[in-house]
């Protein structure tokens, strides 16, 4: 009679051990895969951020090469997708004209920072000394 009582408790101990092993494996897998999923998501957002930075650079180059007061491009979802243009290390007020136009000679170095969903990417152009 006493051997049956001792055996009933061993099932409970065995179940707790199995659950502990499964929980440990699950936590380990989560620690491995969550950063990989985050990197994959940031890679997708990075493409939109680089396009936003490219938009700022292209607009600045177009305005510099053509004597026009072309309006700055707007992003479709400016809440999460935007760009900033810098001359040297100073940010440029994009609504103030002219800052990229041909009246600024020689052409300064420009940097455009595009941001999408918290991911920022930067593009920079330098004038050549030729």
Nearest-angstrom CA–CA distance, 60 and 107: 10
Nearest to 56 by CA among 127, 120, 11: 120
Whether 39 is covered by a domain: the verdict is yes
Nearest to 85 by CA among 94, 76, 77, 98: 94
Whether 67 is covered by a domain: the verdict is yes
Q: How far is CA 107 from the centre of its chain?
A: 29
List the beta strands (DSSP E) in 1-118: 81-87, 90-91, 110-116
Whether 130 is covered by a domain: the verdict is no
Average pLDDT over residues 1-26: 83
Can you give the residue range of the structural domain that contains 51? 2-125
- pLDDT tens sequence across 53-94: 888 888 777 777 776 666 667 767 655 556 677 666 666 655
The structural domain count of the chain equals 1
- pLDDT tens sequence across 11-22: 888 999 999 999
- The pLDDT, as a whole number, for residue 34 is 93
Classified as helix, coil or strand, 29 is helix
Q: Is there a cis peptide before residue 8, judged by omega within 30 degrees of 0?
A: no
- The pLDDT, as a whole number, for residue 97 is 47
47 and 117 Cβ atoms separated by less than 8 Å: no
pTM for the structure as a whole = 0.58
Give Cβ neighbours of residue 63 (< 8 Å, ≥ 6 apart). 69, 70, 98, 100, 101
């Amino acid at each position: 009679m006493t051997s049956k009582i001792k055996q009933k408790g061993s099932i409970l101990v065995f179940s707790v051990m199995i659950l502990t092993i499964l929980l440990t494996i699950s936590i380990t897998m989560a620690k491995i895969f969550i950063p990989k999923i985050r990197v994959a998501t940031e890679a997708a957002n990075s493409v939109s951020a680089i396009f936003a930075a490219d938009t700022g650079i292209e607009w600045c180059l177009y305005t510099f090469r053509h004597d026009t007061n072309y309006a700055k491009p707007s992003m479709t979802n400016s809440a999460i997708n935007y760009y900033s243009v810098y001359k040297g290390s100073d940010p440029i007020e994009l609504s103030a004209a002219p800052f990229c136009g041909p009246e600024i000679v020689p052409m300064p170095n420009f940097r455009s920072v595009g941001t999408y969903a918290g991911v920022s990417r930067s593009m920079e152009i330098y004038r050549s000394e030729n």
